[in-house]
Structure 1
Amino acid sequence: MSMLKDPSVKYRPFGQINLPDRQWPSRLIEKAPRWLSTDLRDGNQSIIDPMDAVKKRRFFDLLIEVGVKEIEVGFPSAGATEFDFISGLVRSGDIPDDVTVQVLTQSREDLIRTSFESLDGARAAIVHLYNAVSPAWRDIVFRMSKDEVKAIAVAGAKVMRDEAGKRPDTDWHFQYSPETFSTAELNFSIEVCAAVMEVLQPTPDHPIILNLPATVEAATPNIYADQIEYFCRHLPNRESA
């Protein structure tokens, strides 16, 4: 089989976002954003030689010393190493009162329940839920319709709500990611996030965190910025997100 002399001809240009009055280029950041460290989790759940509990604890203590106030401490449903580190950290009482830990979970009931179990007794915690929403994942991986993929997110949000309700002594916060956002239809991502918000009922005083992942870099950064501005403008109840 012969190779194409110019493989780029296989790919279509990434579509433009219909945002003629875009505002992000002229806006300034006027207050500090929320900073979250994902160093203890990002990829650690899937590498051959992940950080063990001793290494993770040293890293956690360093992040505390640096002054990070939100720390993603792991992926508790990935295995015993992750679960035991997180639950042990919570039980140790060494999480400062002004620090909130976070865990990540796919939108599957068993994994969500495991994630909440790892945080039993925490003063405050963020549970970060995700599922992929883009056409490639819907059509090739899941072989599901849009409604079926949205139902995965809604079902996960309901489990989160119910598991948090069983543990009223913890100050729970929720985060949701429409994974593969950067290659999904914008209006569908908005629809899924709105459905999750309908379940979790965020308020301005207790908002939900919506993470919009550039899971696959398919366009230049300015188009991703357009995607985010379009999303923010069209999301219902923006003041609660």
Structure 2
Amino acid sequence: MKIAIVTGASGGIGAAIATRLAEAGWVVWLVARDAAKLDALARRLGSPAHALPLDLCDPEAAAVLLDAIRAQPYPVQLLVNAAGTQHFGLLADQTDAQLDAMLALNLAAPMRLIRTLWPVLGADSTVVNVGSVFGSIGFPGFAGYCASKGGLRVFTEALARESGRDGPRFIHLAPRAVDTALNSSRVAALNSALGNQVDTPDTVADALMRTLACRHREAVIGWPEKLFFRLNQLLPGAVDGAIGKQLAIVRRYAKEKDHA
């Protein structure tokens, strides 16, 4: 029996990933804060799905999950860290609470969860950390989010090297813009104004399934985002120029109010 844990399972990307895994025969443990949404998803997926409402920013949450996993007899073969949050705005306008929330859920929570679950993650296990192209391409209006996702990307890279041949496999999955409730009305308007391609959660879930089937350690979703990802590593000045042309538009939407 194949056991998968998906965090952020009540949200768009997490729910889509959980659905794809269930369709592929995985027994999925659904983890998120919203108990009602988790229960609804578990009912839709059928009896192999288990809903476990947890706030991953609670320092005790990882231990609760570990106890639940140890109470069942099957090994964990997949952990997908898809929980995340985002606050769009210029840094000068961001609050401490917004910055702390992004670092806590996007970076500290998966770090703590992987460390706690390490005893049940063996050489046959895979850990997928769902990051963002903004974890490799610093973009104005998303400085705090970029910092949290950039940290997650390097954390994943470090763990892949730390685990060696006898530890879990680590994958960093980097979507571009995705149509989820995580995006405010200003982010949606910004993407439209910049002509950005916005993927569906199902697109991300499909990319994850393809990545699991190969041996890649990192997958960047979308074009030209893949090109910008590589250019930013090799020729950051070229990316500076391209994004610099968009700065006035970013600042305008960053200063607007969200629409209900």
TM range (shorter): 0.3 to 0.5
More helix by share: 2
Q: Which has the higher contact order (CA 8 A, sep 6+)?
A: 2
TM-score by length of 1: 0.44
Bigger radius of gyration among the two: 1
